[in-house]
Amino acid sequence: MNRRYIIFISILAAFAGTLISLVTAFCLSWSSAIGEERKRLTVFAGQATVRADLTLNAARKVLQNAGQFTAPPCSEQHIQEMRLAVINSKNVEEMGYFDAGLLKCTSWGVTTARVAQVASDFTMADGIQVTLRMQPVVTMGKRMTALHLGSYNVLIDPARFADIVLEPEMTLAVMTADGRVFGTQHDPDLAMNRSLLHVPPGPDGGPLSVVVRGVDLHAVLTEPHARVLERVAQQQWLLMPFGASAALLLIGIVIWLARRRLSLLGELGVAVDRRGFSVHYQPLLNMRSGVCVGAEALVRWCRADGSMVRPDLFIPLAERNGLIQAITDQVMHTVIHDFKEHFKAEPDLHIAINICAQDIKTGRFLNVLEQALRDAGVAARHLWLEMTERGLIDTDAARITIARARAAGHAVAIDDFGTGYSSLSCLQDLPLDALKIDKSFISSSGLDLLNSSVTPHIVAMAKTLQLKIVAEGIETREQADYLQALGVEFGQGWLYGKAMPFAEFMVFYQSRKAGGPG
C-alpha cells in the first residue's frame, strides 16, 4: 500500500466516519423525539379512555338502578326518583321513562307532547341501545348521546366522553372499536381516526397519532407534525454534540491509524501480523577445509512495495516496541520448515538463529522452539543460538536461559564479540559454546595496528576457554589467511557468500559440504 493510497483511504474513512456519526446522531434525535412525543400523547389518550369509560359506566349504572324504582310510573315520586338519579350522576343530563315506545315523563316532569322513542344507532354487548347525536325533544337543547335500557333512557352531553384538558394543537376522538364516535375535542379528522383504529400509525410525514384502547371506548389522539419537528430540534441540541464528539473521535482515530500505518513502526506491526518476513542464510565455513558447515539465519523484511528493509534498521525498532519476539518465532518456524528434511540427511548441518535480549532474559523462545522441533522431528543440535553481549548484561537470567538451551541440545554463541564492554566477564561467567568475533575487528585485520593487536587476544582467550571461534565479516582472502594463521576455525563473510534465499543456499551447501558435492 503506498502513501497516497493510505492518505486517500484515510480521508475517505474520516469523511465517512463524520457523516455516519452525524447521520446517526440525527436519526437518534429523530427517533428519540418521536418516542418521547408518542409517550406524552399516550398519557393524554390514556386519560381520555379512563374518562370515557367512567362516563359510560356512570350512565349504565343509572339505567341499571332504574329497575329498582318503586313509585308508580310518572308519579310525582317517580319523577323525583329520576331527578335524584340525574343529580347524583355527574354525567347524565336527563332521564326519561318510556311506555309502549312513547316518552311518558322525564326527570323534568310529565311529558305532554307525543314523543316516540327514536331508533337506536347500535346496541352494546350488555343490551344498552345507543343513539348518537340525538336531539332532545323536551329541552330542544344541544344534541345528546342517548342510552336506552328497558323503559328508561339517559341523555349524556357527548363532550363528557372526551372531557380532558388537551393542548391546543391536539385532537381527540373517543370511539367504539367499529368507529362510532362518542365524543371529540378540537375537531379531529374522523375518517383518518377511524382508519387508525385498524391500521397502526406509520412513520410517514403525517400527524403523529396514538390509539389507546379502553374497555368499551377507545381514544385516538393526534398532533400536527410541526410539533414533532420542534421536539426533534430540541433533541438535536442534546444529541448533536455527541454526534460531533463521536465524529471528532473517529477523525482522531483515523489520523492516528493513518500515521501509524504511514510510520515505519506501524508498517512493521502490520508485517508482523501478516508474517511479512523471509529468512536468508549466510554460509558458515570451516576455513581450513572450505567446507560449509551451516549458516546464519538472517531475517529480511520484504515491504509491500517490494523493497527490502535491512535488519539493522528494523530489529532495534522491533526490540523497543515488543515486536521482536513475534519475529524470532517466525524466523525459528521458517528455519525449521526450510531445513526439516535436510537436517535428517545432514547430521552435522546447523543453522544459527539470532536471539534478542528480551528472550534471553526470559527464555520464552525456548518453549516455542522445543515445540516446533518436536512437531518437526528435528534434533536441537541443528539449531545454534546467537546472543549478543547486549543481551547478556543480565548475567544471572542469561545463565539460566543458556543452561536451559544447552540442556535441550543447542549450541550457544556469543555474537558481535568485542563490541560491548562486558565481554570478558561474559565469557568467564557464562557456559558458552562459541564466540563470534565482530566484523569491525575483522575488516581491519592485518591492516590496522590497533585492531590487529586485539584480535589475537580474543582468539587466545577463546581458545583458553575452549570455545569454538567464528570470524564474521570476512571480505578478503588476506583477512581469511590472517585469521586462519591465528587459529580461527570458522569463517563467515562475503568472501564466501552473502546471505541468500534458502534454495540458493542449498545449492551452495551441496557444492561445499563435507565429502564434496552430494
| Pairwise CA distance, residues 62 & 224, whole Å | 39
What is the phi-psi region of residue 449: left when phi exceeds 0, alpha when psi lies from -120 to 50, beta otherwise? alpha
Cβ 384 to ligand C2E, closest distance in Å? 12
Which residue in 357, 383, 352 sits closest to 492, CA to CA?
Answer: 352
* Residue 334 binds which entry of ligand C2E, Mg ion, none, CB below 5-8 Å type-dependent: none
Cβ 381 to ligand C2E, closest distance in Å? 20
Binding-site member from 160, 350, 382, 439 for ligand C2E (CB under 6 A)? 439
Binding-site member from 85, 105, 284, 299 for ligand C2E (CB under 6 A)? 299
The residue type at 356: C
Cβ 415 to Mg ion, closest distance in Å? 4
Angle at 234 between CA 228 and CA 240, to 5 degrees: 120
Cβ 499 to ligand C2E, closest distance in Å? 5
Q: How many helices (H) and strands (E) does the chain have?
A: 15, 20
| Pairwise CA distance, residues 208 & 378, whole Å | 77
Binding-site member from 136, 214, 294, 493 for ligand C2E (CB under 6 A)? 493
Binding-site member from 188, 214, 473, 491 for ligand C2E (CB under 6 A)? 473
| Pairwise CA distance, residues 309 & 317, whole Å | 12
- The C-alpha cell that represents 142 in the structure block: 344541544
If you write DSSP's letter for every residue of 39-95 in order, what string do you get?
Answer: HHHHHHHHHHHHHHHHHHHHHHHHHHHHTT--SPTTSHHHHHHHHHHHHH-SSEEEE
* Residue 473 binds which entry of Mg ion, ligand C2E, none, CB below 5-8 Å type-dependent: ligand C2E
DSSP state of 216: S
Residues 221-260 interacting with Mg ion (rule: CB under 5 A): none
Exposure class string for 145-178: b at 16+ Cβ within 10 A, else e? bbbbbebbbbbbbbebbbbbebeeebbbbbbbee
Residues 187-246 interacting with ligand C2E (rule: CB under 6 A): none
Closer by beta carbon to ligand C2E, 267 or else 359: 359
Binding-site member from 10, 49, 193, 354 for Mg ion (CB under 5 A)? 354
| Pairwise CA distance, residues 154 & 93, whole Å | 7
* Residue 93 binds which entry of ligand C2E, Mg ion, none, CB below 5-8 Å type-dependent: none
Could you tell me which stretch among 93-101, 264-272, 324-332, 348-356 binds Mg ion (CB under 5 A)?
A: 348-356
Residues 362-381 interacting with ligand C2E (rule: CB under 6 A): none
Binding-site member from 346, 386, 389, 489 for Mg ion (CB under 5 A)? 386
| Pairwise CA distance, residues 297 & 369, whole Å | 15
CB contact at 8 A, 121 and 179: no
Binding-site member from 302, 494, 501, 511 for ligand C2E (CB under 6 A)? 494
Cβ 371 to ligand C2E, closest distance in Å? 18
| Pairwise CA distance, residues 238 & 505, whole Å | 68
Q: If DSSP states are collapsed to H, E and C, what string results for 288-306? A: CCCEEEEEEEEEEEECCCC
Neighbours of 302 (CB within 10 A): 13
Is residue 416 a contact residue for Mg ion (CB under 5 A)? Answer: yes
Is residue 499 a contact residue for ligand C2E (CB under 6 A)? Answer: yes
CB contact at 8 A, 124 and 130: yes
- Residues 328-357, one symbol each (x = binds ligand C2E by CB under 6 A, - = not), give x--x----------------------x-x-
Closer by beta carbon to ligand C2E, 128 or else 387: 387
* Residue 106 binds which entry of ligand C2E, Mg ion, none, CB below 5-8 Å type-dependent: none
> What is the edge-to-edge ordering of all strands in the sheet holding 208-213?
181-185, 171-175, 218-223, 208-213
Closer by beta carbon to ligand C2E, 285 or else 331: 331
Which residue in 301, 247, 238, 291 sits closest to 491, CA to CA?
Answer: 291
* Residue 293 binds which entry of ligand C2E, Mg ion, none, CB below 5-8 Å type-dependent: none
- Residue position matching grid coordinates 356512570: 58
The residue type at 6: I
How many residues touch ligand C2E under the rule CB under 6 A: the total is 23
Closer by beta carbon to ligand C2E, 208 or else 356: 356
Cβ 261 to ligand C2E, closest distance in Å? 24
Pairing of strands 411-417, 434-437: parallel
Is residue 315 a contact residue for ligand C2E (CB under 6 A)? Answer: yes
Closer by beta carbon to Mg ion, 295 or else 480: 295
Closer by beta carbon to Mg ion, 40 or else 382: 382
Binding-site member from 48, 174, 298, 369 for ligand C2E (CB under 6 A)? 298
Cβ 373 to ligand C2E, closest distance in Å? 17
Is residue 294 a contact residue for ligand C2E (CB under 6 A)? Answer: no
Is residue 416 a contact residue for ligand C2E (CB under 6 A)? Answer: yes
Q: Give the helix/strand (H/E) hosting 322.
A: none
* Residue 149 binds which entry of Mg ion, ligand C2E, none, CB below 5-8 Å type-dependent: none
Could you tell me which stretch among 13-21, 79-87, 90-98, 468-476 binds ligand C2E (CB under 6 A)?
A: 468-476
Task: Give the interface with Mg ion as residue ranges (CB under 5 A).
Answer: 354, 386, 415-416
Under the rule (CB under 6 A), what is the footprint of ligand C2E? 282, 298-299, 310-312, 315, 324, 328, 331, 354, 356, 386, 415-416, 439, 472-475, 493-494, 499
